[in-house]
Chains A and B, each alone.
Chain A
Amino acid sequence: MRRVAWKALYMIPVALTVTLVTYLLLNLLPGDVTALMLGDEAPKAAIEQTRQALHLDDPVLLRYGRWLLAALGGDLGRSYITGQQVAEALGERFMVSCQLMLMAQGLALLLAVPTGILAGYRAGRPIDRLLTGAAFGIVSLPIFVQSMLLMIVFAVVLRWLPSTGYVEFGDDPWGSLRSLVLPAVAIGLAEWPALMRVLRSDIIATLQEDFILLARSKGLPPGHVLFRHALRPSCLSIVTVIGLQIAGLINGALIVETIFALPGLGRLLVEAVHARDLLIVQGAVTLIAVIYVVANLGVDLLYAAIDPRIRR
């Protein structure tokens, strides 16, 4: 418990550093935010007036302090483009990204665990070569192409699933799951090879251990040996990879979000960068930083659960 508390406390300086660095970097961007708000033809006097109203002429650290205080109170400001509250926009998009990430990662794990174990157990055999070949084949297929193929086959030709769009879980749970199947499969397939290969390597190493030899010599069936004895000690690397993938997926599923028209966090961030919607960018980067830290905390806790020696 104390360890968890320390880890949680560790999140605070990390998040603060990220927000400060982001704030400073956004300030270095060329162009004036007042020109965005007032239009390029606004007279200088009006620009000056707005700059003063927004305290843009104050030292950057003072402005950061003001932003931070407001952010701690839940006020992240409003989008310059749509007028939407930044916190509201982030909340809506985060739910979509989170749901997509869970489904995609769940699917990737469903594929990776059995295939990784099988490939490790049968290392060098035809089944291992087949799985490895399939993994390389999928990795080499760009996710854009993969997504389009899935869409054409399952939405356009077979009409089993919707081609694009997102349905909120609260509005229609079944419709929501259906709307995310194709994007989750596209991402899950892209994530599967890395997980499968990592698990395969660890399984191969674990199967060389003495305790596995002992289990086998006791006459335990292969399935029992693999799932009860070999899987748990082989999971540390895959958990590390999952931790990185989860955080990456929350904000990095841009291509899939764009193709399947999902209003996720990645799309919001990129569109905000293009439109120079700086408060959205600042808020999104802060949220992503927190997600990374939380995901890493989760990974650390999982390490301890998998291998009790780590707790000591």
Chain B
Amino acid sequence: MMKTGLSIAVAFGLLAGVAQAAEAPKRGGTLRIGHGFEVQGFDPFTIATPNLATGSVASLMWPRSYQPTRDGRWVARSIIDRVVADDGLSMRWRWREDIKFSNGEPFTAHAVAAHWNRLLDPARNYAFAKYVSMLKETAVIDDYATETRYRFPYPPAYLAGRTNTFLGLVMPLGYVEKMGPEVNRKPIGPGPYMISDWKQGSTVTLVRNPHYWDKSRQYLDKIVFKQIPNLQARLNALKAGDIDVAVSMLEKQVAAAEGAGEFQVVRFSASGGAITMMNTAKPPLDDIRVRRAIAHAVDRDVVKKVIYANQRQMMTDIWGPTSQWHCPNVGYPEYDPDRAKALLKDYGKPVKITLTTGASALGLLAGQVFQSFWKKVGIEADFRQVQVGPQYIGEVVRGQYDIAFWRISDLVDPDYQVYTPFLSSSGGNFSKIKSAKLDAALTKGRESRDLAARKRAYCDFMVEYNKQLPALLGGRNTYFVIARKGVMNLPMMHQGYFRAAEVWLRD
């Protein structure tokens, strides 16, 4: 048996700008957080994929069972321990017995199992089926122990971060059935805070859960998430003192705020990031020479400066130097316009491509920048802006694009990040890349129980990826927060969520 309890060292992102010494936390006060998205709700069947605001609110009602520390460890919180079976086919969880939901009902293994088994319903879970494809069932061992059973040995289960999924929104036993469709907007969780008021499209207010098991860590009286869609207005609200924290800010705003010194700026550089995905099933992008020419034509220093205002690192591998999975020297194509021209000459036919980009000012800028790179080497490049949301996603999913901006999520285990998007036979392989070498590396990474072997597999994957180039690598996932100076213990923003559960206010 492999015990994965108290502290699992997992290297992760870099937190900068938080110079908050060990000062005793103060209790009380209201934290007001300005964000840009609509909070969608909390039933996975309704929301399918949560946006950053939804995930941030959810983190207060369903905190992670393991929490990261600033020195890179994961510490058990709501569970006693987890034990993975030797054959890798199951994992047993023992939950704390003093956890209660905000309505006073006990948090039991029965509620956990009912929740996860509900999500496995193949007749309903298409939107997130790929995230649960490895799960067979969750069984109740006793009132406070569950066993997750896998369809095949699943090594990523060893990582504590594996539990940080938006699907884990467990509600009291029978509550979902009782509430019907209303459950999405009237959730009940076991976390430190619970929703007291929700004005759709405006504010979500949370207050302390009176039944939370660790009251010593509920510092704030109230947390208000305020939706301010306009970025400049969000910054103005911070300057006016109407909010305490502004999340999901633009790089140039962060740079300006940092320069002014009026606020504290936090940036969290994670794994994954922006990619420029190529439809390898469509000519001319089905030819590797064309894809490599496209990559060589991109001046990544200009991208970093113009699009990211020097606030993001450019990826050469998917995981980055702060991740335990980082693979240095994996041969990402350098900026070399002469090489690009030579490859295009070798290809021998005119190359015409259309870049799909989001209908926003940043999308326009990015479209213009990339268009200029490609035109310089003789590629006839055009770009079209598409409304971000279902329309954009739908076009990519249906393969109705040549090249499109996309993103690789920030997740702790590479299996989640790259298996579905780049496996030849996967329904989620939107670049349509077909490569036996990539498949072999991905399968080895998923199935091997040896951590070193997994790491080698993902580095092999990265080397082959940089040869095949199903997508160009862009700026690393980096999350920015601008906060007023009295806001303390600002969280590390894994997956971009602002987990405010243990924030406190100095004044």
Contact = CB atoms under 8 A, between A and B. Distances in A.
Interface string A24-64: 00000001000110111111001000000000000000000
Given A82-B185, A83-B46, A164-B226, A38 B203 contact: no
A204 B38 CA distance: 50
B202 A82 contact: no
Contacts of B229: 258, 261, 267
B106 interface: no
Nearest to A32: B394
Contacts of A156: 236, 239-240
B397 A261 contact: no
Contacts of B127: 38-39, 41-42
Size band of the B side of the interface?
Answer: 35 or more
Interface stretch (A206-214, A271-279, A288-296): A271-279
Nearest to B49: A39
Given A260-B233, A263-B199, A41 B38 contact: no
A71 interface: no
B200 interface: yes
A162 interface: yes
B226 A261 contact: yes
A40 B393 contact: yes
Contacts, number: 127
Contacts of A307: none
B184 interface: yes
A138 interface: no
A14 B38 CA distance: 33
Interface in A41-100: 41-43, 46, 78, 81-84, 89, 92-93
A42 B126 contact: yes
B48 A276 contact: no
A159 interface: yes
A85 B185 CA distance: 10
B228 A81 contact: no
Contacts of B202: 165-166, 261-263
A151 interface: yes
Interface string A224-254: 0000000000000000000000000000000
A41 B387 contact: no
Contact of A159 (B123, B129, B241, B390): B241
Contacts of B129: 39, 41
B11 interface: no
A148 B233 CA distance: 8
A278 B150 CA distance: 38
13 contacts: A31-B394, A39-B48, A40-B398, A41-B397, A43-B126, A162-B242, A163-B242, A164-B34, A165-B203, A259-B230, A261-B233, A263-B199, A271-B38
Interface of B: 34, 38, 40-41, 43, 46-48, 123-124, 126-130, 181-182, 184-185, 199-203, 226-230, 232-234, 236-237, 239-242, 387-391, 393-394, 397-398, 427-428
